[in-house]
Chains A and B, each alone.
Chain A
Amino acid sequence: MRLLGEFFPGKTYLYFPFLDAALVWIQKRVPEWEEKIVAWKVWPDPDYIAAKPDAFVLEFYRSHSVLNHAFLKAVESEEKEVLRAGFLRLYPIFGLEDPFLRGLFHDELAAGNLAAVVKEFDDRVRKAREDIKRVPDKSRLFRNLKACVEELLSLGVTVLSQTQVRSAIEKWLEEKGCGNEG
Protein backbone atom coordinates (compact mmCIF):
# COMPACT_ATOMS: atom_id res chain seq x y z
CA MET A 1 0.00 0.00 0.00
CA ARG A 2 2.99 2.24 0.60
CA LEU A 3 3.73 2.00 -3.14
CA LEU A 4 0.30 3.25 -4.12
CA GLY A 5 0.46 5.85 -1.37
CA GLU A 6 3.16 7.62 -3.43
CA PHE A 7 0.54 8.39 -6.03
CA PHE A 8 -2.51 9.03 -3.93
CA PRO A 9 -1.25 10.47 -0.65
CA GLY A 10 -4.23 10.87 1.62
CA LYS A 11 -6.59 9.55 -1.04
CA THR A 12 -6.73 5.86 -0.29
CA TYR A 13 -10.20 5.57 -1.79
CA LEU A 14 -8.57 5.83 -5.18
CA TYR A 15 -6.67 2.56 -4.66
CA PHE A 16 -9.83 0.63 -5.12
CA PRO A 17 -10.81 1.36 -8.72
CA PHE A 18 -7.20 1.16 -9.93
CA LEU A 19 -6.55 -2.13 -8.18
CA ASP A 20 -9.84 -3.50 -9.40
CA ALA A 21 -9.05 -2.76 -13.03
CA ALA A 22 -5.41 -3.92 -12.73
CA LEU A 23 -6.34 -7.20 -11.10
CA VAL A 24 -8.95 -7.99 -13.75
CA TRP A 25 -6.53 -7.36 -16.62
CA ILE A 26 -3.32 -8.78 -15.17
CA GLN A 27 -5.05 -11.93 -14.02
CA LYS A 28 -6.44 -12.42 -17.50
CA ARG A 29 -2.88 -12.04 -18.85
CA VAL A 30 -3.93 -9.32 -21.28
CA PRO A 31 -0.69 -7.89 -22.70
CA GLU A 32 -2.03 -4.36 -23.16
CA TRP A 33 -3.41 -4.11 -19.60
CA GLU A 34 -1.85 -0.66 -19.00
CA GLU A 35 -3.63 0.74 -22.04
CA LYS A 36 -6.88 -0.78 -20.84
CA ILE A 37 -6.59 0.86 -17.44
CA VAL A 38 -6.05 4.26 -19.05
CA ALA A 39 -9.04 3.68 -21.32
CA TRP A 40 -11.13 2.52 -18.40
CA LYS A 41 -13.84 4.89 -17.30
CA VAL A 42 -14.48 5.30 -13.61
CA TRP A 43 -18.11 5.51 -12.53
CA PRO A 44 -19.83 5.82 -15.89
CA ASP A 45 -23.03 7.81 -15.52
CA PRO A 46 -25.74 5.36 -14.57
CA ASP A 47 -28.60 4.94 -16.99
CA TYR A 48 -31.14 3.32 -14.74
CA ILE A 49 -34.42 5.11 -14.04
CA ALA A 50 -33.92 6.96 -10.74
CA ALA A 51 -37.46 8.42 -10.54
CA LYS A 52 -39.05 5.77 -8.33
CA PRO A 53 -42.50 5.70 -6.79
CA ASP A 54 -42.59 6.76 -3.13
CA ALA A 55 -43.57 3.23 -2.10
CA PHE A 56 -40.32 1.93 -3.62
CA VAL A 57 -38.27 4.63 -1.87
CA LEU A 58 -39.90 3.88 1.48
CA GLU A 59 -39.39 0.14 1.05
CA PHE A 60 -35.72 0.80 0.26
CA TYR A 61 -35.20 2.55 3.62
CA ARG A 62 -37.25 0.00 5.53
CA SER A 63 -35.48 -3.03 4.10
CA HIS A 64 -31.97 -1.86 5.07
CA SER A 65 -31.62 -1.79 8.84
CA VAL A 66 -28.78 0.79 8.77
CA LEU A 67 -30.88 3.16 6.67
CA ASN A 68 -34.02 2.54 8.69
CA HIS A 69 -32.13 3.40 11.85
CA ALA A 70 -30.44 6.52 10.45
CA PHE A 71 -33.64 7.91 8.88
CA LEU A 72 -36.09 6.58 11.45
CA LYS A 73 -37.96 9.86 11.95
CA ALA A 74 -38.27 10.56 8.22
CA VAL A 75 -39.35 6.96 7.53
CA GLU A 76 -41.97 6.95 10.28
CA SER A 77 -43.48 10.26 9.22
CA GLU A 78 -42.93 9.44 5.52
CA GLU A 79 -41.16 12.74 4.79
CA LYS A 80 -41.07 12.50 1.00
CA GLU A 81 -38.57 15.26 0.29
CA VAL A 82 -35.95 14.04 2.80
CA LEU A 83 -36.31 10.44 1.72
CA ARG A 84 -36.18 11.23 -2.01
CA ALA A 85 -33.06 13.41 -1.67
CA GLY A 86 -31.25 10.73 0.34
CA PHE A 87 -32.42 8.00 -2.04
CA LEU A 88 -30.60 9.49 -5.05
CA ARG A 89 -27.26 9.23 -3.20
CA LEU A 90 -27.81 6.12 -1.08
CA TYR A 91 -29.50 3.86 -3.62
CA PRO A 92 -26.32 3.36 -5.75
CA ILE A 93 -24.43 2.38 -2.57
CA PHE A 94 -26.97 0.20 -0.76
CA GLY A 95 -29.39 -0.73 -3.54
CA LEU A 96 -27.01 -1.28 -6.46
CA GLU A 97 -23.95 -2.03 -4.27
CA ASP A 98 -21.54 0.07 -6.32
CA PRO A 99 -18.09 -1.01 -5.06
CA PHE A 100 -16.35 2.25 -5.97
CA LEU A 101 -18.84 4.33 -4.05
CA ARG A 102 -18.53 1.96 -1.10
CA GLY A 103 -14.76 2.53 -1.20
CA LEU A 104 -15.20 6.26 -1.60
CA PHE A 105 -17.38 6.54 1.51
CA HIS A 106 -15.71 3.73 3.45
CA ASP A 107 -15.20 5.72 6.69
CA GLU A 108 -18.66 7.30 6.75
CA LEU A 109 -20.29 3.93 6.06
CA ALA A 110 -18.21 2.22 8.76
CA ALA A 111 -19.21 4.94 11.25
CA GLY A 112 -22.85 4.81 10.12
CA ASN A 113 -22.67 8.51 9.29
CA LEU A 114 -25.11 8.43 6.38
CA ALA A 115 -26.04 12.09 6.65
CA ALA A 116 -22.43 12.91 5.71
CA VAL A 117 -22.64 10.57 2.69
CA VAL A 118 -25.75 12.37 1.43
CA LYS A 119 -24.25 15.81 2.11
CA GLU A 120 -20.84 15.18 0.54
CA PHE A 121 -21.85 12.78 -2.25
CA ASP A 122 -21.81 15.10 -5.27
CA ASP A 123 -18.58 16.92 -4.33
CA ARG A 124 -16.68 13.78 -3.36
CA VAL A 125 -17.61 11.91 -6.55
CA ARG A 126 -16.64 14.89 -8.72
CA LYS A 127 -13.32 15.27 -6.88
CA ALA A 128 -12.49 11.56 -7.16
CA ARG A 129 -13.01 11.69 -10.93
CA GLU A 130 -10.69 14.70 -11.20
CA ASP A 131 -8.02 13.10 -8.96
CA ILE A 132 -7.87 10.00 -11.11
CA LYS A 133 -7.39 12.06 -14.27
CA ARG A 134 -4.47 13.89 -12.62
CA VAL A 135 -2.16 10.94 -11.83
CA PRO A 136 1.28 12.43 -12.70
CA ASP A 137 3.60 9.53 -13.58
CA LYS A 138 1.60 6.73 -15.14
CA SER A 139 4.50 4.35 -15.90
CA ARG A 140 5.57 4.27 -12.21
CA LEU A 141 1.95 3.90 -11.18
CA PHE A 142 1.66 0.83 -13.42
CA ARG A 143 4.83 -0.71 -11.93
CA ASN A 144 3.48 -0.21 -8.42
CA LEU A 145 0.04 -1.46 -9.34
CA LYS A 146 1.61 -4.64 -10.71
CA ALA A 147 3.51 -5.12 -7.45
CA CYS A 148 0.29 -4.71 -5.43
CA VAL A 149 -1.61 -7.11 -7.68
CA GLU A 150 1.18 -9.68 -7.33
CA GLU A 151 0.92 -9.39 -3.55
CA LEU A 152 -2.85 -9.88 -3.78
CA LEU A 153 -2.43 -12.92 -6.02
CA SER A 154 0.21 -14.40 -3.70
CA LEU A 155 -2.42 -14.30 -0.96
CA GLY A 156 -4.39 -16.82 -2.95
CA VAL A 157 -6.99 -14.57 -4.54
CA THR A 158 -8.43 -16.60 -7.39
CA VAL A 159 -10.40 -14.56 -9.84
CA LEU A 160 -13.71 -16.00 -10.91
CA SER A 161 -15.78 -12.96 -11.66
CA GLN A 162 -15.57 -9.21 -11.52
CA THR A 163 -17.89 -9.11 -8.50
CA GLN A 164 -15.59 -11.48 -6.62
CA VAL A 165 -12.54 -9.43 -7.59
CA ARG A 166 -14.17 -6.38 -6.11
CA SER A 167 -15.12 -7.96 -2.82
CA ALA A 168 -11.62 -9.51 -2.51
CA ILE A 169 -9.96 -6.10 -2.91
CA GLU A 170 -12.43 -4.50 -0.52
CA LYS A 171 -11.59 -7.11 2.12
CA TRP A 172 -7.87 -6.74 1.51
CA LEU A 173 -8.01 -2.95 1.86
CA GLU A 174 -10.04 -3.26 5.05
CA GLU A 175 -7.48 -5.71 6.49
CA LYS A 176 -4.73 -3.25 5.62
CA GLY A 177 -6.64 -0.58 7.51
CA CYS A 178 -7.05 1.64 4.46
CA GLY A 179 -9.90 3.89 5.31
CA ASN A 180 -10.81 6.95 3.36
CA GLU A 181 -8.68 9.92 4.25
CA GLY A 182 -9.56 11.86 1.11
Chain B
Amino acid sequence: MKDNFRSWAAWRTAGLLVVSALMVSCASHLREAKFQYAQGTELRRAYQTDQALASFSRARLEAERESSRRPSAQSFMLKGLAELELNRRMEAENSFRKAFAHGFEKGEEWAEGLSLLGTAVTLERFGLEEAASGFYLYLIEKSKFRPVTILAARHHVENELLQIRDLEGDKRRAALARLLKTVQRLAGKEPSCGFYHYLQSQIRSHQEEHRSSLESAVLARELGLPQQEILRDNDNQIIFCYRKLKEELDPIQWESFQTFYMQWARRWNWRGPEEPEWKRR
Protein backbone atom coordinates (compact mmCIF):
# COMPACT_ATOMS: atom_id res chain seq x y z
CA MET B 1 0.00 0.00 0.00
CA LYS B 2 2.79 2.31 1.05
CA ASP B 3 4.71 1.39 -2.12
CA ASN B 4 1.64 2.07 -4.28
CA PHE B 5 1.25 5.43 -2.64
CA ARG B 6 4.93 6.24 -3.19
CA SER B 7 4.73 5.25 -6.83
CA TRP B 8 1.53 7.30 -7.30
CA ALA B 9 3.17 10.30 -5.63
CA ALA B 10 6.23 9.91 -7.87
CA TRP B 11 4.03 9.77 -10.99
CA ARG B 12 2.05 12.79 -9.79
CA THR B 13 5.25 14.77 -9.17
CA ALA B 14 6.59 13.76 -12.59
CA GLY B 15 3.24 14.71 -14.15
CA LEU B 16 3.24 18.08 -12.45
CA LEU B 17 6.79 18.68 -13.59
CA VAL B 18 5.86 17.85 -17.21
CA VAL B 19 2.80 20.10 -17.07
CA SER B 20 4.73 22.98 -15.56
CA ALA B 21 7.56 22.47 -18.09
CA LEU B 22 4.96 22.61 -20.87
CA MET B 23 3.46 25.76 -19.39
CA VAL B 24 6.86 27.40 -19.10
CA SER B 25 7.66 26.31 -22.65
CA CYS B 26 4.35 27.78 -23.95
CA ALA B 27 4.93 31.01 -22.11
CA SER B 28 8.46 31.15 -23.45
CA HIS B 29 7.28 30.62 -27.06
CA LEU B 30 5.02 33.65 -26.81
CA ARG B 31 7.66 35.66 -25.02
CA GLU B 32 10.31 34.67 -27.58
CA ALA B 33 7.92 35.51 -30.44
CA LYS B 34 7.32 38.97 -28.98
CA PHE B 35 11.03 39.49 -28.36
CA GLN B 36 12.03 38.41 -31.88
CA TYR B 37 9.30 40.57 -33.46
CA ALA B 38 10.42 43.62 -31.49
CA GLN B 39 14.04 42.91 -32.38
CA GLY B 40 13.13 42.56 -36.07
CA THR B 41 11.42 45.96 -36.00
CA GLU B 42 14.47 47.48 -34.35
CA LEU B 43 16.88 45.92 -36.86
CA ARG B 44 14.74 47.00 -39.79
CA ARG B 45 14.83 50.56 -38.48
CA ALA B 46 18.63 50.32 -38.41
CA TYR B 47 18.55 49.15 -42.08
CA GLN B 48 19.92 45.70 -41.14
CA THR B 49 17.48 44.01 -43.53
CA ASP B 50 19.00 40.51 -43.50
CA GLN B 51 19.06 40.29 -39.72
CA ALA B 52 15.58 41.81 -39.44
CA LEU B 53 14.14 39.17 -41.77
CA ALA B 54 15.79 36.40 -39.74
CA SER B 55 14.24 37.80 -36.54
CA PHE B 56 10.77 38.05 -38.11
CA SER B 57 11.15 34.49 -39.32
CA ARG B 58 12.01 33.30 -35.82
CA ALA B 59 9.08 35.30 -34.40
CA ARG B 60 6.78 33.57 -36.86
CA LEU B 61 8.10 30.13 -35.90
CA GLU B 62 7.69 30.77 -32.18
CA ALA B 63 4.18 32.22 -32.65
CA GLU B 64 3.27 29.18 -34.73
CA ARG B 65 4.48 26.81 -31.96
CA GLU B 66 2.50 28.79 -29.40
CA SER B 67 -0.68 28.85 -31.47
CA SER B 68 -0.56 25.10 -32.13
CA ARG B 69 -0.21 24.39 -28.38
CA ARG B 70 -2.36 27.16 -26.95
CA PRO B 71 -4.25 28.96 -29.72
CA SER B 72 -5.05 32.51 -28.70
CA ALA B 73 -5.83 35.86 -30.29
CA GLN B 74 -2.40 37.10 -29.27
CA SER B 75 -0.42 34.22 -30.78
CA PHE B 76 -2.28 34.41 -34.12
CA MET B 77 -1.96 38.19 -34.23
CA LEU B 78 1.80 37.96 -33.68
CA LYS B 79 2.09 35.23 -36.29
CA GLY B 80 0.18 37.39 -38.79
CA LEU B 81 2.32 40.44 -38.10
CA ALA B 82 5.53 38.45 -38.60
CA GLU B 83 4.15 36.93 -41.81
CA LEU B 84 3.32 40.36 -43.11
CA GLU B 85 6.92 41.47 -42.54
CA LEU B 86 8.09 38.39 -44.44
CA ASN B 87 5.81 39.32 -47.35
CA ARG B 88 3.62 36.23 -46.82
CA ARG B 89 0.40 38.13 -47.23
CA MET B 90 -2.02 35.25 -47.73
CA GLU B 91 -0.77 33.45 -44.63
CA ALA B 92 -0.98 36.70 -42.66
CA GLU B 93 -4.58 37.16 -43.77
CA ASN B 94 -5.38 33.67 -42.53
CA SER B 95 -3.67 34.30 -39.18
CA PHE B 96 -5.60 37.55 -38.64
CA ARG B 97 -8.88 35.73 -39.33
CA LYS B 98 -7.95 33.13 -36.71
CA ALA B 99 -7.01 35.93 -34.29
CA PHE B 100 -10.50 37.38 -34.88
CA ALA B 101 -12.07 33.98 -34.19
CA HIS B 102 -10.24 33.97 -30.84
CA GLY B 103 -11.55 37.39 -29.87
CA PHE B 104 -9.22 39.91 -31.49
CA GLU B 105 -11.78 42.37 -32.87
CA LYS B 106 -9.58 44.12 -35.40
CA GLY B 107 -8.45 40.78 -36.87
CA GLU B 108 -11.23 40.60 -39.46
CA GLU B 109 -10.69 44.18 -40.62
CA TRP B 110 -6.94 43.59 -40.99
CA ALA B 111 -7.57 40.36 -42.92
CA GLU B 112 -10.03 42.13 -45.24
CA GLY B 113 -7.51 44.88 -45.93
CA LEU B 114 -4.89 42.31 -46.85
CA SER B 115 -7.34 40.42 -49.04
CA LEU B 116 -8.20 43.61 -50.97
CA LEU B 117 -4.54 44.48 -51.31
CA GLY B 118 -3.82 41.00 -52.68
CA THR B 119 -6.65 41.40 -55.20
CA ALA B 120 -5.32 44.77 -56.32
CA VAL B 121 -1.77 43.42 -56.78
CA THR B 122 -3.14 40.55 -58.89
CA LEU B 123 -5.23 42.91 -61.02
CA GLU B 124 -2.16 45.05 -61.59
CA ARG B 125 -0.04 42.03 -62.53
CA PHE B 126 -2.59 41.09 -65.19
CA GLY B 127 -2.60 44.56 -66.71
CA LEU B 128 -5.79 45.93 -65.11
CA GLU B 129 -4.07 48.97 -63.60
CA GLU B 130 -7.19 51.13 -63.51
CA ALA B 131 -9.20 48.59 -61.53
CA ALA B 132 -6.23 48.05 -59.21
CA SER B 133 -5.96 51.78 -58.68
CA GLY B 134 -9.56 51.90 -57.37
CA PHE B 135 -8.73 49.28 -54.73
CA TYR B 136 -5.52 51.04 -53.71
CA LEU B 137 -7.34 54.35 -53.32
CA TYR B 138 -10.04 52.70 -51.24
CA LEU B 139 -7.40 51.20 -48.93
CA ILE B 140 -5.50 54.49 -48.69
CA GLU B 141 -8.69 56.24 -47.58
CA LYS B 142 -10.30 53.56 -45.43
CA SER B 143 -7.74 51.11 -44.07
CA LYS B 144 -6.95 51.53 -40.41
CA PHE B 145 -4.17 48.95 -40.57
CA ARG B 146 -0.94 50.91 -41.09
CA PRO B 147 1.09 48.27 -43.05
CA VAL B 148 -1.77 47.91 -45.55
CA THR B 149 -2.09 51.69 -46.00
CA ILE B 150 1.66 52.01 -46.61
CA LEU B 151 1.73 49.16 -49.15
CA ALA B 152 -1.34 50.49 -50.95
CA ALA B 153 0.20 53.97 -51.12
CA ARG B 154 3.44 52.60 -52.56
CA HIS B 155 1.64 50.60 -55.26
CA HIS B 156 -0.70 53.47 -56.08
CA VAL B 157 2.10 56.02 -56.49
CA GLU B 158 4.22 53.68 -58.65
CA ASN B 159 1.20 52.82 -60.81
CA GLU B 160 0.12 56.41 -61.27
CA LEU B 161 3.63 57.70 -62.00
CA LEU B 162 4.07 55.07 -64.71
CA GLN B 163 0.95 56.35 -66.43
CA ILE B 164 1.60 60.06 -65.81
CA ARG B 165 5.16 59.82 -67.16
CA ASP B 166 3.90 59.89 -70.74
CA LEU B 167 1.22 62.56 -70.28
CA GLU B 168 1.90 66.15 -71.27
CA GLY B 169 0.82 69.69 -70.38
CA ASP B 170 -2.22 70.37 -68.19
CA LYS B 171 -3.26 66.74 -68.00
CA ARG B 172 0.12 65.79 -66.57
CA ARG B 173 0.18 68.70 -64.12
CA ALA B 174 -3.35 67.95 -62.87
CA ALA B 175 -2.66 64.24 -62.43
CA LEU B 176 0.55 64.90 -60.49
CA ALA B 177 -1.18 67.48 -58.28
CA ARG B 178 -3.96 64.97 -57.52
CA LEU B 179 -1.46 62.26 -56.64
CA LEU B 180 0.52 64.59 -54.42
CA LYS B 181 -2.64 65.60 -52.58
CA THR B 182 -3.46 61.96 -51.86
CA VAL B 183 -0.03 61.36 -50.32
CA GLN B 184 -0.09 64.67 -48.46
CA ARG B 185 -3.35 63.61 -46.82
CA LEU B 186 -1.62 60.46 -45.58
CA ALA B 187 1.38 62.42 -44.34
CA GLY B 188 -1.03 64.80 -42.59
CA LYS B 189 -2.50 61.87 -40.67
CA GLU B 190 0.93 60.48 -39.78
CA PRO B 191 3.62 63.19 -40.17
CA SER B 192 6.31 61.02 -38.57
CA CYS B 193 6.17 58.36 -41.32
CA GLY B 194 9.34 58.85 -43.40
CA PHE B 195 7.98 56.73 -46.25
CA TYR B 196 5.16 59.19 -47.01
CA HIS B 197 7.73 62.00 -47.29
CA TYR B 198 9.80 59.78 -49.60
CA LEU B 199 6.72 59.32 -51.82
CA GLN B 200 6.14 63.09 -51.86
CA SER B 201 9.76 63.64 -52.85
CA GLN B 202 9.36 61.22 -55.77
CA ILE B 203 6.18 62.95 -57.01
CA ARG B 204 7.73 66.40 -56.71
CA SER B 205 10.65 65.18 -58.77
CA HIS B 206 8.19 64.43 -61.60
CA GLN B 207 6.80 67.94 -61.10
CA GLU B 208 10.37 69.24 -61.54
CA GLU B 209 10.13 70.98 -58.17
CA HIS B 210 13.63 70.09 -57.13
CA ARG B 211 13.87 72.22 -54.00
CA SER B 212 10.64 70.77 -52.54
CA SER B 213 11.64 67.28 -53.64
CA LEU B 214 14.95 67.65 -51.84
CA GLU B 215 13.29 68.95 -48.68
CA SER B 216 10.87 66.03 -48.59
CA ALA B 217 13.76 63.59 -49.15
CA VAL B 218 15.72 65.19 -46.28
CA LEU B 219 12.68 64.82 -44.03
CA ALA B 220 12.25 61.20 -45.12
CA ARG B 221 15.90 60.43 -44.29
CA GLU B 222 15.60 62.06 -40.89
CA LEU B 223 12.40 60.24 -39.98
CA GLY B 224 13.64 56.86 -41.23
CA LEU B 225 12.76 54.60 -44.14
CA PRO B 226 11.69 50.96 -44.12
CA GLN B 227 14.52 49.48 -46.21
CA GLN B 228 18.17 50.01 -47.07
CA GLU B 229 17.28 50.13 -50.82
CA ILE B 230 14.73 52.88 -50.23
CA LEU B 231 17.23 54.83 -48.15
CA ARG B 232 19.78 54.60 -50.97
CA ASP B 233 17.20 55.57 -53.58
CA ASN B 234 16.23 58.53 -51.40
CA ASP B 235 19.91 59.54 -51.16
CA ASN B 236 20.17 59.37 -54.96
CA GLN B 237 17.14 61.65 -55.17
CA ILE B 238 18.86 64.15 -52.84
CA ILE B 239 21.98 64.11 -55.06
CA PHE B 240 19.88 64.46 -58.24
CA CYS B 241 18.10 67.52 -56.81
CA TYR B 242 21.43 68.99 -55.69
CA ARG B 243 22.75 68.73 -59.26
CA LYS B 244 19.56 70.18 -60.74
CA LEU B 245 19.54 73.10 -58.32
CA LYS B 246 23.14 73.81 -59.25
CA GLU B 247 21.89 74.42 -62.81
CA GLU B 248 18.75 76.30 -61.79
CA LEU B 249 19.82 78.69 -59.02
CA ASP B 250 21.68 81.99 -59.52
CA PRO B 251 25.12 82.25 -57.79
CA ILE B 252 23.82 84.03 -54.66
CA GLN B 253 20.93 81.61 -54.17
CA TRP B 254 23.29 78.71 -54.85
CA GLU B 255 25.75 79.85 -52.20
CA SER B 256 23.08 80.07 -49.54
CA PHE B 257 21.59 76.74 -50.64
CA GLN B 258 24.96 75.04 -50.52
CA THR B 259 25.53 76.10 -46.91
CA PHE B 260 22.17 74.61 -45.98
CA TYR B 261 22.88 71.43 -47.97
CA MET B 262 26.35 70.83 -46.54
CA GLN B 263 25.02 70.99 -42.98
CA TRP B 264 22.86 67.98 -43.74
CA ALA B 265 25.62 66.15 -45.63
CA ARG B 266 27.92 66.55 -42.61
CA ARG B 267 25.18 65.43 -40.23
CA TRP B 268 24.85 62.19 -42.25
CA ASN B 269 28.63 61.67 -42.39
CA TRP B 270 28.74 61.92 -46.18
CA ARG B 271 32.21 62.16 -47.71
CA GLY B 272 31.09 65.04 -49.91
CA PRO B 273 27.92 66.64 -51.33
CA GLU B 274 27.43 63.69 -53.73
CA GLU B 275 29.06 60.94 -51.70
CA PRO B 276 26.95 59.09 -49.12
CA GLU B 277 28.93 56.71 -46.91
CA TRP B 278 27.56 53.63 -48.73
CA LYS B 279 28.63 54.73 -52.22
CA ARG B 280 31.75 53.22 -53.77
CA ARG B 281 34.57 55.62 -54.46
Identify the A interface with B (CB < 8 A): 20-21, 24, 32, 35-36, 39-41, 44-56, 59, 63, 92, 95-98, 162-163
How many A-B residue pairs lie within 8 Å, measured between CB atoms? 82
Q: Which residues of A contact B50 (CB under 8 A)?
A: 20-21, 24, 40-41, 162
Q: Which residues of B contact A163 (CB under 8 A)?
A: 278
B240 to chain A, nearest CB (A): 6
Question: Does B244 reach chain A (CB closer than 8 Å)?
Answer: yes
With the chains together, A104 CA to B177 CA distance in Å?
40
With the chains together, A20 CA to B161 CA distance in Å?
35
A40–B54 CB distance below 8 A: yes
With the chains together, A95 CA to B279 CA distance in Å?
9
B165–A51 CB distance below 8 A: yes
Provided the pairs A52-B205, A54-B165 are in contact, do residues A44 and B199 lie with their beta carbons within 8 angstroms? no
Q: Which residue of B51, B199, B208, B243 has the most chain A CB atoms within 10 A of its CB atom?
A: B51
19 contacts between A and B (CB under 8 A): A40-B53, A41-B50, A46-B227, A47-B226, A47-B230, A48-B230, A48-B233, A49-B199, A49-B202, A49-B233, A51-B158, A51-B162, A52-B202, A53-B208, A56-B205, A95-B236, A97-B232, A97-B278, A97-B280
Q: Which residues of A contact B280 (CB under 8 A)?
A: 97
Provided the pairs A48-B233, A49-B202, A54-B165 are in contact, do residues A39 and B227 lie with their beta carbons within 8 angstroms? no
A47–B154 CB distance below 8 A: yes
Identify the closest chain B residue to A33 (Cβ): B54
Identify the closest chain A residue to B232 (Cβ): A96
A163 to chain B, nearest CB (A): 6
Q: Which residues of B contact A48 (CB under 8 A)?
A: 227, 229-230, 232-233
